[in-house]
Amino acid sequence: MSKRVGIEVSIAISEAVGLARAEVIPAYPITPQTHIVEHLSEMVANGELDAEFVPVESEHAAMSCCCGSCAAGARTFTSSSSQGLSLMSEILYIPSTMRLPIVMVVANRALSAPISIWNDHQDIMVQRDIGWIQTFAENGQEAVDLTLHAFRVAEDRNVSLPMIVNIDGFTLSHVIEPIELPDQEEVDKFLPPFKPRYKLDPRRPITMGPVGIPEVYTEAKVAHDKAMKKAKRYILKAWNEFEEIFGRRYNPVESYRTEDAEVLLVTMGSISETAMTAVDAMRDAGQKVGLLRIRLWRPFPGQEFRKAVGKTKILAVIDRCLPPGALCGPVGAELRSLFYKIPGAPKIFSFVAGLGGRDVTVERFEEIVDKARQFAKKRPRELYEVIGVREK
């Protein structure tokens, strides 16, 4: 029977990885992911999890080690954040095109400079194009559930792509929440043992990672892209199976009080819960406001998002990173592309908030909605606005 406990989200994630029977865990510590890997090494040391915990000497080594272990046929997990994730950059593009289903939890944290240990989405937005499936968790329960879902999807023989679950650093990783931890029997029903399509084995010698000469490179990348698109079907199927076994429903895009909304806020990750509180407050004050939360970031669920927007004419998109010199943040850019020249498309206004751990409060969301309404009447000069920045 599953049990409902008050538990730190990082620890709960480790428990989920244990329930998933991960086999090789190469990991390097970085704030704020440390509790995840610490607890996993404890579980292995106590014999609670039959796995190899590999205390590698850098994040780059962690991801390299993951590639070797996954290619050899073991269920592989790691976790990182910010600078560590950046250090892995060189390698991240490799297991995805090589179809190695590694699962990684990223505790989202701002990037240096200046060095910051606090939460925003820079670290993962820099890795937008690595070709991994990516989801965002809003709370501790989601963090656990999406981790289990990640193993199921990544290793599905129709998918076979690595997957990242994003959790906001500190805001989620270090809070204690009431979480329902599933029991081993339920997880085993949801997650069968890893059976890779190919693996390194002298009984069947194959070559992995050859030179992709120009005659073949384009086809290799297109095949990967097609696999990403095809994966959506299996991502959704796995969420259906999850609901059947665990009773909790997940969708690629979640709607909150959107039915007759004039303005829709768009968020990803833990600020979504504050946004829901803000929407309730604004609704109580008579405003027709709603919220869309993007849970599946890659492959981007365009169809589901358009459907969720419905007839609403104003979108206020919140990006939690600020790419200097870009026209607007990545989520804003994605949505503008999605709706470009679509008849009846909403007006899309981009906002940047919550950089480097700065709180995004209910008041800020109200400010964003106000501004979005103003911009709808008179086009803003800039394509995005940074919320909550002091001038002097």
Residue ranges that bind another protein, judged by CB under 8 A = 23-24, 26, 50-52, 54-58, 60-61, 64-74, 76, 90-91, 94, 97-100, 160, 193, 197-198, 200-202, 204-213, 215-216, 218-220, 222-223, 226
Is 264 in a helix, a strand, or coil?
strand
What's the closest the beta carbon of residue 146 comes to another protein, in angstroms?
24
Instruction: Please report how close the Cβ of residue 213 comes to another protein at its closest, in angstroms.
Output: 6
Task: Give the containing element (helix H, strand E) for 291.
Answer: strand 289-294
Q: Which is nearer to another protein, 184 or 218 (CB)?
A: 218
Backbone phi, psi, residue 208, to 5°:
-115, 130
Question: Long-range contacts: 209-213, Cβ < 8 Å, 24+?
Answer: 209/94, 209/98
Q: Which residue lies nearer to another protein by CB, 176 or 222?
A: 222
Report the Cα 308 to chain-centroid distance in Å.
20
Least Cβ distance, residue 151 to another protein (angstroms): 15
Least separation in angstroms between CB 107 and another protein: 22
Helix pair 82-97, 59-71: axis angle to 10 deg: 30
**Least distance from C-beta 228 to another protein, angstroms?**
13
Compute the CA torsion angle 159, 192, 164, 384 (nearest 10 deg): 70
Closest CB 289 distance from another protein, rounded Å: 44
Shortest Å, Cβ 363 to another protein: 47
CA–CA separation, 105 and 278 (whole Å): 28
Q: Which is nearer to another protein, 193 or 343 (CB)?
A: 193
| Calculated CA dihedral for residues 92, 96, 98, 104, nearest 10 degrees | 70
Residue (70 or 368) nearer to another protein, CB = 70
C-beta of 216 vs 389, nearer to another protein: 216
Per the CB < 8 A criterion, the answer to whether 143 and 137 are in contact is yes
Residue 262 C-beta: closest distance to another protein, Å:
44
Nearest CB to another protein, comparing residues 86 and 108: 86
Q: Which is nearer to another protein, 74 or 271 (CB)?
A: 74
CA-based nearest residue to 251, from 237, 265, 231: 237
DSSP sequence for 3-44? EEEEEEHHHHHHHHHHHTT--EEEE---TTTHHHHHHHHHHH
Kindly give, in sequence order, each residue whose CB lies less than 8 Å from that of residue 242, ignoring residues fewer than 6 positions away: 145, 148, 149, 152, 190, 248, 250
Q: Are the C-beta atoms of 299 and 133 separated by less than 8 Å?
A: yes
| Residue 38 or 177 having the CB closest to another protein | 38
